[in-house]
Structures are given as C-alpha cells and as structure tokens.
Amino acid sequence: MGKQIVATVTVLSTLYLCCINNNLAVSEYYSKTRRCSPKQQVVTNLHFFFHDTLTYPNPSAVLIAKPINLTSLMNNSSSPSPFGSLFAVDDPLTLGPDPRSKQIGNARGMYVSSGERLPTLTMYLDFGFTSGHFNGSSFTVFSRNPITDKERELAVVGGRGKFRMATGVAQLNTYSVNLTTGDAIVEYHVTLYHY
Ligand SMILES: *[C@@H]1O[C@H](CO)[C@@H](O)[C@H](O)[C@H]1NC(C)=O
Ligand SMILES: *[C@@H]1O[C@H](CO)[C@@H](O)[C@H](O)[C@H]1NC(C)=O
Ligand SMILES: *[C@@H]1O[C@H](CO)[C@@H](O)[C@H](O)[C@H]1NC(C)=O
Ligand SMILES: *[C@@H]1O[C@H](CO)[C@@H](O)[C@H](O)[C@H]1NC(C)=O
Ligand SMILES: *[C@@H]1O[C@H](CO)[C@@H](O)[C@H](O)[C@H]1NC(C)=O
C-alpha cells in the first residue's frame, strides 16, 4: 500500500515534470506557450511543534539587524523584538511540545518584527524535514504572523521535493511563550496540497 502511494506520487511528479522541463530553442530564451494539464493534486496533513529560542548560549534565532532607536537607547528599553528587528532562524521542529521529543526537521530563514504598534512578525521560512517519508522535502511560508493572537493562519506558498509546488495553510497555536525572553513553542497543523 505504502509502496503503491510512493509509486503513484513518483509517476505523477514525472508527468508533472513534463510541464516543468522542456527543451528550449537555442535562438530564444522562451519556449512556445502550450497547454498544461496538471495532474490530480494530493493532500498531506502535518503536525509538529516549532521551538524558537532567543536565549543565549544556544539561541535558534539571532538578531541580525535592528533600527537605531535613540529613545530606546536612552531609556534602556528591553523589548525582545522591537519594530524593525530582523532575525535569522534555524528552529528545530519536534513531534511533541517537549524540546527533547524526537526532532523531525527544522525551519530556516528569517522573520522581521513588522508591526509598528502591536508586536507582529512577517515570516520567510523554509520548513524542511529530516526523517520519515518526507525526509529531504520542504515547504515554504511567506506570511504575516500576528503573534499576539492565540490561533493564527500562515500562507504556504511553495515547496520542494515531495512537496513540489505545494500550496496550503499552516494553523498555529502558541503552546508556550516567555514574554521576557521571547522564547516560544508553537504548535503547527499544516495542510498541504501538492502533486
Ligand atoms: C523606540 O523606543 C521607545 C522607548 O522604548 C518606544 O516607545 C518606541 O516604540 C520605539 N520606536 C520604534 C520605532 O521602535
Ligand atoms: C524615557 O525616559 C525618560 C526619563 O525616564 C522619560 O521622561 C521619557 O518619557 C521616556 N520616553 C519614552 C518614550 O519612554
Ligand atoms: C542604561 O543601562 C546601563 C547599564 O545597565 C546603565 O549604566 C545606565 O545608567 C542606564 N541608563 C539609563 C538612562 O538608565
Ligand atoms: C534523510 O536523508 C538524508 C539524505 O538523503 C540521509 O542522509 C539520512 O540518513 C536520512 N534520514 C533518515 C532518518 O531517513
Ligand atoms: C522567562 O525567562 C526568564 C529568563 O530566563 C526566567 O527568569 C523566567 O522565569 C521565565 N518565565 C517563565 C514564565 O518561564
């Protein structure tokens, strides 16, 4: 059964590849535009926990740029992520909420604190998997993330490997957050449509 699914997915992605790759005429940079009939989409649901740790000595998210705020400098303001702060992240993804539970992947990329009044983020992240059927595959999120809402939805805009051309949604639920440090554990329920 499992093998059959893998075989089907492989056949579908091969067929789909016909639409992606094409021999181009050497004299031009574009091909003839032709009809493309995408094959049947498949849907996969994922569930995992995302661990974002700003605390040293082992942060998984580090500040790489921030605006100069003279007011805040003078007043020793200590918000962990003021408006305009840009972070690079390599956050572990685990099966359970416990950081010691099995790691199944990582989320890599950046997020920027993009709310002038309310703390909110815009995320540019690639969620890659390192175990199981989707080892080596990843999906991509480019979305705003209103972190003060308990439940929120992020847009999945693409994918690689078995998640090639994925679209979908990630539903987030804050499992725990330390408002002093900014360290957070977030539960993800993801629905991916792919080929
Ligand atoms: C600058 O810092 C002050 C004091 O902490 C804060 O009220 C203000 O929102 C900050 N401005 C920006 C643009 O982050
Ligand atoms: C900065 O600190 C000064 C002195 O404590 C205070 O008068 C001022 O209102 C503070 N400004 C902001 C934006 O917090
Ligand atoms: C800011 O913090 C530094 C170090 O903690 C301290 O020496 C300085 O007095 C503080 N400045 C103000 C304006 O509170
Ligand atoms: C995942 O894929 C990598 C690269 O192909 C391989 O080295 C690794 O052993 C795989 N891990 C698991 C748990 O299958
Ligand atoms: C938040 O982190 C600080 C610094 O590590 C710690 O002292 C505090 O107990 C933490 N708060 C919670 C609610 O875990």
Question: Which ligand is closest to the CA of 77, given by its number?
Answer: 1
Ligand 5 atom at minimum distance from 179 CA: 1
What residue spans define the domains of the chain?
A: 42-194
- State residue 160's pLDDT score: 97
- State residue 171's pLDDT score: 98
Question: Which ligand is closest to the CA of 114, given by its number?
Answer: 1
Pocket of ligand 2 (CB under 6 A): 71, 75
Choosing among 3.90.230.10, 2.40.480.10, 3.30.450.20, 3.20.20.140, the CATH entry for 42-194 is 2.40.480.10
Q: Phi and psi (nearest 5°) for 37?
A: -105, 100
Ligand 3 atom at minimum distance from 74 CA: 13
CA of 165 from ligand 1 middle (Å) equals: 40
Q: Ligand 2, residues 70, 72, 73, 75: which to mutate, most atoms within 8 A of Cβ? A: 75
70 lines ligand 3 (CB under 6 A): no
Ranked by mean pLDDT, which of 6-15, 77-86, 109-118 comes out on top? 109-118
Mean pLDDT of the region 145-159: 95
CA of 192 from ligand 2 middle (Å) equals: 48
68 lines ligand 3 (CB under 6 A): no
- State residue 83's pLDDT score: 85
- State residue 165's pLDDT score: 94
Residue 192 neighbours by CB under 8 Å, 6+ apart:
43, 44, 45, 46, 139, 156, 159, 163, 166, 167, 168
Residue nearest to atom 6 of ligand 2 (CA): 75
Percentage of residues of the chain with pLDDT beyond 90: 66
Percentage of residues of the chain with pLDDT beyond 70: 81
Residue 193 CB-density burial (10 A; 0-12 exposed, 13-18 middle, 19+ buried): middle
Residue nearest to atom 3 of ligand 2 (CA): 75
Mean pLDDT of the region 5-30: 59
Q: Are 192 and 166 spatial neighbours (Cβ–Cβ below 8 Å)?
A: yes
Distance (Å, rounded) from C-alpha 130 to C-alpha 48? 13
Mean pLDDT of the region 152-173: 97
Q: Are 130 and 107 spatial neighbours (Cβ–Cβ below 8 Å)?
A: no
Mean pLDDT of the region 104-108: 98
Pocket of ligand 1 (CB under 6 A): 69, 71-72, 75, 77, 82-83
pTM for the whole structure: 0.77
Mean pLDDT of the region 53-80: 82
Which helix (H) or strand (E) element contains residue 169?
strand 167-177
